[in-house]
Amino acid sequence: MTLDKDLSSIQEMRDAVKKAKKAQQEFMQFSQWKIDSIVKAIAASAYNQSKELARMAVEETGMGVVEHKLIKNQVGSRDVYESIKDEKTIGIIHEDTENKVTEIAYPYGVIAAIIPTTNPTSTAMFKTIAALKSGNAIVVSPHPRAKKCTVETLKICMEAALEEGAPEGLIGWISEPSMEATNQLMTHPDVNLILSTGGGGLVKAAYSSGKPAYGVGPGNVPVYIEKSADIEKSVKMVVDSKTFDNGTICATEQAIVVDKAIQEQVKKELEKNGSYFCNPEEKKKMEQIISIGPGKVNPDIVGKSALKIAELAGINVPDDTRLLIAEEDQVDKHIPFSLEKLAPVFALYTAENSNEAKERCLELLNLGGRGHSFSIHTKDDHLVREFGKAMPVSRVLVNTLSSIGAVGATTALAPSLTLGCGAYGGNISSDNITARHLYNVKRIAYGLKEADIPQPGESKSEAVSSKQVEHLMKEAVEKSGAASEEIDKVKIEELVRQVLKEYQNQ
């Protein structure tokens, strides 16, 4: 009997989870050294195939830039591995001999991983490496529009793992993903943790599954170019960041907020770096192509080049245009340029001063980017701290490319393709998610302190009086000058207790 597509997808998922559970039971018995050797082989193999996988991703999804996806693949393989290779993730990971506490790591088990269409190969590498480093198995649900390149990435990882002695089925996937199969994967009784990167619906489903889950939120990232900034350098970084892989990283800048005092200089530098400013008529055309409804971005522009988007909008722009910009003065779900646009399209806001800039940035984040990231270019460290405290985000990127700085490429943040948004964004973690988030820790703790536990019915005052009795008896004996053998200590204790009791009842 031939199963229909949904049933076939569900069955494939169930088979993958079954194999993964069995493989993980064997894998978790491996030594730290053995697991590390497998993870190293996976990272090396994925890194070596980074260029081909980048090409496959662009061809299949129609999104992004091969050279930029290559960099993301390198971050997702080599950089992630380098950041976690020396971590202890199996067995005893820490011993505090002074306080007599021993920490023992143990894996979650089978991790369900949801992969987005915007970063289909780099995210698959990253999640596989991080999951296995922590002793887990992984079952992946690719995005339907990126299934070929994602599955190919997983096959490369699995082959490398098998060559190093990993059990069969440790890395699994759904080759023909469906929404029903993905939802059932997240609620499968043998899945122990969900690692979800994707649209808001999928992330909410992950958190509603009843399983522990790491999800991420949208990143409507404002970038503030303050008047003390190195304008030439800052603008180049902003343009390079916004156009990186055609804007497909959630940490990419979405709107520029600039001090009025330097607005004209910033605009000139933007134009010098390949930006095209839309006139009022062109802005209206762009608004129609950016949004398909209040708060909804047109998926047809995601990851597309500025030239392609201009063509879709019916706008003629120079052939060297890298970025489309419109000046804006409003923030709302009905204002397309103020939304998160995973594409080389920018809104430019002008602020009278830093206080007004702060309010504008807060508006943009509250519209759809709470918890994610904020970018600032300035030479004023005091201002950095002021904005850092005020912004409801998990990452503040200073004088760098927000898109790749947030994932750890140009900063000392942990290399990761899953960026937590914390309580601001309704996430369990505000960290860049990595291997240390994918295992549990049990603790062996020895008793160090004596406890004086009152007996039932004994009041607090009576418990304290025992110490008072001892002290008063000692004092009475010393003052009496009598030899210890001449003293009836029991009688004295009874008298002291009686006196204290009468005193406490007064």
Under a CB-based contact definition with an 8 Å cutoff, are residues 339 and 194 in contact?
Answer: no
Q: Which residue has the tokens 């081909």?
A: 52
Distance CA 51, CA 48 (A): 8
- Sign of the CA dihedral 68, 70, 74, 77? positive
Please pick, among 157, 250, 278, 421, the residue that the annotation labels catalytic: 250
Q: How far apart are CA 221 and CA 122, in angstroms?
A: 21
**How many angstroms separate the Cα of 303 from the Cα of each of 138, 201, 245?**
28, 20, 7
Helix, strand, or coil (residue 328): coil
How many other β-carbons are positioned within 10 Å of the β-carbon of residue 484?
7
Block residue for tokens 């992330």: 203
Which residues on neighbouring strands pair with residue 137, listed in sequence order?
A: 110
Report the alpha-carbon distance of residue 104 to residue 439 in Å, rounded: 10
Longest dimension (CA), the chain: 113
The per-type count for the chain, helices as H runs and strands as E runs, is: 18, 17
> Cα 108 to the chain's mean position, in Å?
18
Residue 157 among the catalytic residues: no
Three-state SS string across 419-483, please? ECCCHHHCCCCCCECCHHHCEEEEEEECCCCCCCCCCCCCCHHHHHHHHHHHHHHHHHHHHHCCC
CA dihedral for 138, 142, 146, 147, sign (positive or negative)? positive
The burial class, CB within 10 Å (0-12 / 13-18 / 19+), for 287 is: middle
Could you tell me if 166 and 136 are in contact, meaning their C-beta atoms sit under 8 angstroms apart?
Answer: no
How far, rounded to the nearest angstrom, does the alpha carbon of residue 387 sit from its chain's CA centroid? 21
Give, in degrees to the nearest 5, the angle at Cα 161 between 158 and 167: 90
Length of the chain: 506
137-141 vs 110-114, strand pairing mode = parallel
| Residue 393: Cβ-neighbour burial (10 angstroms; 0-12, 13-18, 19+) | buried
Which residues are marked as active site?
250
